[in-house]
Amino acid sequence: MASALRAAILGHIRVPVVANGSKLLTPLWIRSMSSHDDHLEKTQVIDRILDIVKSFPKVDPSKVTPEVHFQKDLGLDSLDNVEIIMAIEEEFKLEIPDKEADKIDSCALAIEYVYNHPMAS
Amino acid sequence: MSGAASYLARRAVQKERVRILYRRALKDTLNWAVHRHLFYPDADALRERFDANKNVEDIETIDRMIADGEAQYNKWRHPDPYIVPWAPGGSKFTRNPTPPSGIEIVYDYGREDH
């Protein structure tokens, strides 16, 4: 008897579910708090990295382009390179392993690395 | 000339050790001096210490200096360093792993036929 009542109530408030593919009906607002699939745009990455490099005190801001090499074109030291990479890590909340951080030598490499990193934000 | 090649190889290894040591020392400086207005003078002092030895040529001296530097770094390591949350050692590491691929939710609430 209780189960019949329950079935009647459920039948009354049942929301009709369309058997269509669910992707079309998934409202966009459901995952608004999820950062699962939001990746940075490449232009954003380029702008932020260029800002970091330009605000470095030993760098001449007018020479900075997305393909510039830190030691050859900007005349920086290898220790300055380390400092720039640390600043990039702090900006994008990344943790770059030491061996890979050693290899990042130019703006182009840095942009590539940050853009392809899944956890860059 | 294998002599020159091995010398250059040793120098390259030393340069890499110096870069990695500087990177770790800088991060450690930031761990100890959390506020930026304290960090910047400390980072400058660290850079001065590295720059003072920049022009040493003798390979054995450089090796000894690097070993000294690494010993000092190990002595001053912070016990609770800041690690980015999703990295190993951070607070969010393996906190919410993605479920295995075969599992899914069956959306049939109200339509179960018990």
Phi then psi for A28, rounded to 5 degrees?
-70, -20
- Contact between A52 and A91 under an 8 Å Cβ cutoff? The reply is yes
Asked whether B31 and B78 are in contact (CB, 8 A), the reply is: yes
Indicate whether this model's pTM tops 0.95: no
B86 part of contact set with chain A, CB < 8 Å: yes
**What's the token pair of residue A24?**
């079309």
Contact A45, A111 (CB under 8 A): yes
Give chain A positions within 8 Å (CB) of B93. Answer: none
pLDDT at B48: 94
Q: What is the distance between the alpha carbons of residues A88 and B37, in angstroms, rounded to a whole number?
A: 19
Residue in B15, B16, B86 nearest the CB of A119: B86
Which parts of chain A register pLDDT below 70? 1, 15-37
| B10 contact A CB<8A | no
ipTM of the complex: 0.80
pLDDT digits (tens, 9 = 90+) for B31-64: 999 999 999 999 999 999 999 988 888 889 999 9
Q: Which residues of B touch A94 (CB under 8 A)?
A: 84
Is residue A14 a contact partner of residue B111, using CB atoms and an 8 Å limit?
Answer: yes
